[in-house]
Homo-oligomer: A and B are copies of this chain.
Amino acid sequence: MSSTISDVAKLAGVSSATVSRVINKPDIVSEETKKVVHSAMEQLNYYPNVLGRNLRQSRSGFIMVLVPHINNPFYIKVIEGIQEISQQKNYNVMLCQNYIDPAISAQYIQHLQQRTVDGLILLDNTIDNSLLGDIDYTKYPVVQCSQYAKNTPVPYVTVDDTQAMRSLVRYLLSTGRRRIALINGDKRFIYAKNRFTGYKQTLDEMGIAIDKDLIKYVSSLDCQSAMIAATSLLDMENPPDAIIGVSDVLALSAMKVAFKKGMKVPQDISIASFDNTNMTVLAEPSITSISQPRYNMGKEACNMLFERMDNPNAKVRQIKLQAEMIIRDSTLL
């Protein structure tokens, strides 16, 4: 079997405590003994057993990142940001998908109580944050990312969806569009609520009446639902001259429906989206999209989590980052 710290100690002629110090606090060990210990470690091909260390320090060295589903490219970059920070802190990431199933989430959350993981970053967007209700966030370090709960002392990092939508609608209006349709997600999601607010505010300010028929909701962000929504929009007697999808897949699907109806983008209709994943560039024409600072969201969320893991009484920070509009061919008039 593999060698232990006391094997090394014996071979080096020192105590296991000293070996431990060589590994963890090399500064307080004399050069000479360090040399002896290192050579013993090498001879025995020794690697510290993390399980022993974990028990002793009662830390697992893992954080959990709970997302709905990684087939949504939005999460990929966020996860990268999280992994960047956690690696700096010598922590591993356990990435969990709940497939929007609260039962699965509940199982994963047990990992906090069982000490499988030391903290949790919640990218879950379960409606009404029901999930958060199951977690004792006073006891375990938890940070929300993207989605967030109002009036709850849980740290979060999110993006200013209202503002992002405002800039997008304003821009479309500036290109002369007046019948701007919106394909939104379930309004019980905060992002959907906020984006709708931005949409409504901007039209209100410009004195444009809201046409309820121009607003569609999809229960899931996939091609099928999106195509149904887009078809009903484009089949209207007085169809929209622009469509905003709250996710790239929605916009791409809408564009596909427009093509099928013989419409040209952007000549006949403008198309815009949120998320700015690489689909927007691969599409023909390329799609104007709202780029959220996904990587930074991940980094910030992870930083916040470590703040709380280091000090459970640290101030609860709740921050909102700004998004950016990337204008591409699909709206260029």
Contact = CB atoms under 8 A, between A and B. Distances in A.
A2 interface: yes
A147 interface: no
A200 interface: no
Nearest to A77: B71
A113 B2 contact: yes
B92 A94 contact: yes
A70 B79 contact: yes
A214 interface: no
Contacts of A255: 284
A137 B92 CA distance: 23
A252 B114 contact: no
Interface string A80-91: 100100000000
A240 interface: no
A103 to B, nearest CB: 12
A237 B55 CA distance: 69
B97 A95 contact: no
B284 A284 contact: yes
Interface stretch (A44-52, A166-174, A296-304, A315-323): A44-52
A332 interface: no
A249 interface: yes
Contact of A47 (B60, B83, B110, B259): B110
Contacts of A95: 93, 95
A282 B221 CA distance: 13
10 contacts: A49-B114, A50-B60, A70-B70, A92-B111, A93-B95, A94-B94, A252-B282, A255-B284, A279-B282, A282-B283
